[in-house]
């Protein structure tokens, strides 16, 4: 393996509390000082992270930004070349033809096509082709294929194709940047990793991937890059935990169970006073235990896996219910309803909530009479707003704009206003950009939201400003003095905490092995779905009959290859052994959540526990562990917890 290592490409493991941001900033400062002619690229997962990394640093030779902003600003310069436009047509021509013909008479396409005709006089393939002279980034989830506009996901997919087709782009990257950092690599798509790896492998420039596989929350990464990761230089390791007390560090090391990634406590944290030693409460009434603990620790952060109760508690339950029913946010999709409601990096994929959250901030500035910030936001987020209507050229413009904003504000704070009604006001007052407005109101999924009161958006934004309750998914990157982890199960998203605890009590779990087994299982399911041309969930008795032999063959091969694997034995063996050649049995054996649910629970248990700076409490429902309670208690004690009833 040693002779296969790419010495200029580094994989830097950065577990919870390891000071990753500080380390990157130090590396940037040092490199700039000693290499006055070189340039640095820092790719972050969120705009907020980019701002944090770049704070107070000289940026003329450093680019801080998300992958989407980098593609738009740097690689996007190639997107007006004829060869790139030809590639666009190669990839999307069939979809564009389908959209023009609109055989199914989709309402949204009819209206969109009519708007195109109004703008260009007619609509056919030749006219569309003649009008597209550059491929652009929409900065929204939507593709605008008739205009050459790509949304978040397609931008990355298309860029990967372009980079592979035209190696000159790779050369431009390696020539421009001598040092590249990719933060939170575990949540970065394999396509992005591929772009930078192939651009820098064998070159003088250095590439650093920083992150922690245990904190992989989103399903952006599908395991396709694992073989390449094994060739990365691992000589840099951030092994000091600057966040937590030594007792909690010991617990985290035990959970992680990887000697190569062991953390050591920061010496100064040994002096931190703990209110209590890390402990587990096993109770019959979880709700009562939470209420009792909150009386003594009002500032504690409570972490749940159950989201419906959480959102109803803060007054945004109907909004959550509506989003949770949307096809685009079902458990097998990239993001969940919770993700888009609580995480900036996920919300950018939802045009409606992105718009409403920005408007909420604008109205807050308006109420504070911070009019400069109002206009700044409108123009900064021009992709959502009809910004040219909010430019002050003459004194009368001020009065007209204030009248519009007053109407929008009044609608927003009116408890009787629905989201649909508020959008109509924003459109009437020419605040929202027409294409965004039409995309939202024409989206069938958003029909579920239109009757929800806008007040629930206000309550959601207020809650997010100072949350005392969160989910185990939603706290990555945060830390709190006192954390309460409420162990629970969920089907959407798939989090099987009880099953994880059962496995953990009985076997020696490591993330590396668990991950590897999950990817094998997941890839088998994807291969079957590609062969069938439909999702496993869409299988019916009739369609199953045509593929029964193929599925039977694939399952037998998988069983044979994994029959001694402890993860297979624990999670899949009973179902696989009961397999009969029928659609119900096939679906039971090809259920990704059966493996992903416990794996996700494993990660969340680590992430949740690692948020605590001083005090950590885990609450477990006794009924959830009754068949393995004794074994789990011994495991928890070995881990470093005190166990109480």
3 pLDDT exceeds 70? no
Instruction: Return the structure tokens found at 408.
Output: 């929008």
CA distances from 92 to 135, 303, 448, 578 (A): 12, 43, 30, 44
Q: How confident is the model at residue 527 (pLDDT cuts 50, 70, 90)?
A: very high
User: What is the pLDDT at residue 518?
Assistant: 96
Positive or negative torsion for Cα 636, 637, 640, 645: positive
The predicted model scores a pTM of 0.76
508 pLDDT exceeds 80? yes
User: What is the pLDDT at residue 477?
Assistant: 66
Q: Is 31 helix (H, G, I), strand (E, B) or coil?
A: helix
Q: What angle do CA 606, 485, 47 make, to 5 degrees?
A: 65
Beta strands 612-621; 279-283: pairing state = parallel
136 pLDDT exceeds 80? yes
Greater confidence, 417 or 489?
A: 417
pLDDT per residue over 431-487, tens digit each? 999 989 998 988 888 999 999 999 999 999 998 887 776 766 666 667 899 999 999
* 266-280 average pLDDT score: 92
Q: How confident is the model at residue 1 (pLDDT cuts 50, 70, 90)?
A: very low
Instruction: Return the structure tokens found at 101.
Output: 């013909």
DSSP state letters, 581-621: SSHHHHHHHT-THHHHHHHHHHHHHHHHHTTEEEEEEEEEE
User: What is the pLDDT at residue 2?
Assistant: 45
Q: How confident is the model at residue 62 (pLDDT cuts 50, 70, 90)?
A: very high
Q: Worst-scoring range by mean pLDDT, 110-114, 207-211, 409-413, 497-501? A: 110-114
pLDDT per residue over 589-639, tens digit each? 999 999 999 999 999 999 999 999 999 999 999 999 999 999 999 999 999
Positive or negative torsion for Cα 600, 603, 605, 610: negative
130 pLDDT exceeds 70? yes
* 411-427 average pLDDT score: 96
Q: Worst-scoring range by mean pLDDT, 214-218, 502-506, 512-516, 534-538? A: 214-218
Strand extents, DSSP E, 359-456: none
Tell me, letter by letter, the H, E, C secondary structure of 241-259: ECCCCHHHHHHHHHHHCCH
pLDDT per residue over 75-93, tens digit each? 989 999 999 999 999 999 9
Q: Which of 461, 507, 462, 488 is nearest to 608 (CA)?
A: 488
* 13-39 average pLDDT score: 92
Q: How confident is the model at residue 333 (pLDDT cuts 50, 70, 90)?
A: low
Q: Which of 357, 363, 326, 543 is nearest to 456 (CA)?
A: 357
User: What is the pLDDT at residue 450?
Assistant: 93
The half-sphere exposure of 90 on its side-chain side, counting CA atoms within 13 A, is 10
Q: Which of 319, 405, 330 is nearest to 369 (CA)?
A: 405
d(CA 32, CA 91): 40
């Amino acid at each position: 393996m040693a002779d296969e290592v790419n010495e200029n490409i580094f994989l830097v493991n950065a577990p919870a509390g390891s000071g990753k941001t500080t380390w990157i900033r130090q590396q940037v400062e040092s490199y700039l000082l000693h290499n006055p002619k070189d340039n640095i690229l820092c790719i972050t997962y969120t705009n907020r992270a980019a701002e944090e990394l770049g704070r107070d640093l000289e940026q003329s030779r450093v680019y801080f930004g998300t992958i989407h902003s980098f593609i738009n600003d740097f690689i996007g310069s190639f997107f007006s070349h004829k060869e790139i436009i030809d590639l666009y047509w190669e990839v999307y021509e069939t979809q564009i033809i389908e959209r023009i013909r609109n055989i199914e008479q989709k309402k949204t396409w009819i209206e969109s096509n009519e708007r195109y005709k109004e703008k260009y006089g007619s609509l056919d393939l030749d006219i569309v082709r003649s009008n597209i002279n550059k491929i652009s980034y929409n900065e929204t989830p939507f593709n605008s294929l008739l205009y050459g506009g790509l949304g978040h996901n397609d931008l990355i997919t298309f860029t990967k194709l372009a980079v592979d087709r035209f190696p000159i782009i790779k050369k431009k990257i390696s020539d421009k940047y001598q040092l590249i950092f990719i933060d939170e690599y575990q949540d970065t798509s394999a396509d992005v990793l591929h772009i930078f790896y192939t651009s820098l492998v064998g070159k003088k420039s250095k590439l650093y991937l920083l992150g922690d596989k245990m904190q992989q929350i989103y399903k952006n990464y599908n395991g396709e890059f694992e073989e390449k990761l094994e060739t990365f230089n691992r000589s840099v390791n951030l092994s000091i935990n600057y966040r937590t007390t030594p007792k909690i560090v010991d617990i985290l090391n035990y959970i992680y169970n990887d000697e190569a990634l062991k953390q050591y406590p920061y010496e100064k944290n040994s002096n931190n006073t703990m209110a209590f030693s890390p402990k587990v409460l096993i109770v019959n009434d979880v709700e009562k235990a939470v209420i009792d603990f909150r009386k003594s620790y009002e500032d504690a952060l409570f972490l749940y896996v159950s989201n419906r109760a959480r959102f109803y508690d803060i007054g945004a339950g109907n909004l959550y219910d509506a989003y949770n029913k949307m096809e685009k946010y079902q458990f097998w999709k990239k993001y969940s309803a919770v993700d888009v409601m609580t995480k900036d990096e996920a919300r950018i994929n939802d045009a409606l909530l992105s718009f409403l959250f920005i408007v909420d901030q604008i109205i807050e500035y308006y109420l504070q009479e911070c009019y400069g910030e109002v206009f700044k936001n409108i123009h900064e987020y021009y992709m959502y707003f009809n910004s040219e209507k909010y430019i002050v050229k003459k004194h009368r413009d001020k009065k007209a704009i204030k009248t519009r904003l007053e109407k929008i504000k009044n609608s927003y704070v009116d408890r009787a206003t629905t989201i649909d009604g508020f959008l109509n006001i924003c459109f009437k007052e020419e605040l929202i950009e027409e294409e965004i407005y039409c995309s939202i109101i024409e989206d069938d999924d958003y029909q579920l939201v239109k009757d929800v009161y806008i007040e629930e958006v206000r309550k959601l934004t207020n809650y997010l400003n100072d949350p005392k309750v969160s989910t185990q998914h939603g706290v990555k990157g945060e830390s709190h003095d006192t954390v309460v982890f409420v162990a629970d199960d969920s089907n959407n998203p798939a989090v099987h905490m009880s099953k994880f605890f059962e496995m953990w009590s009985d076997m020696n779990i490591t993330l590396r092995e668990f991950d590897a087994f999950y990817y094998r299982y997941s890839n088998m399911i994807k291969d079957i779905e590609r062969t069938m041309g439909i999702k496993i969930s869409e299988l019916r008795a009739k369609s199953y009959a045509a593929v029964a032999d193929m599925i039977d063959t694939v399952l037998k091969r998988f069983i044979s290859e994994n029959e001694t694997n402890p993860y297979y034995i624990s999670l899949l063996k009973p179902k696989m052994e009961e397999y009969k050649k029928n659609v119900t049995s096939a679906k039971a054996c090809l259920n990704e959540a059966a493996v992903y649910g416990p794996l996700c629970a494993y990660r969340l248990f680590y992430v949740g526990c690692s948020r605590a700076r001083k005090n950590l409490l885990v609450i477990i429902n006794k009924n959830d562990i009754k068949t393995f309670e004794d074994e789990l208690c011994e495991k928890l004690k070995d881990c470093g917890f005190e166990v109480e009833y």
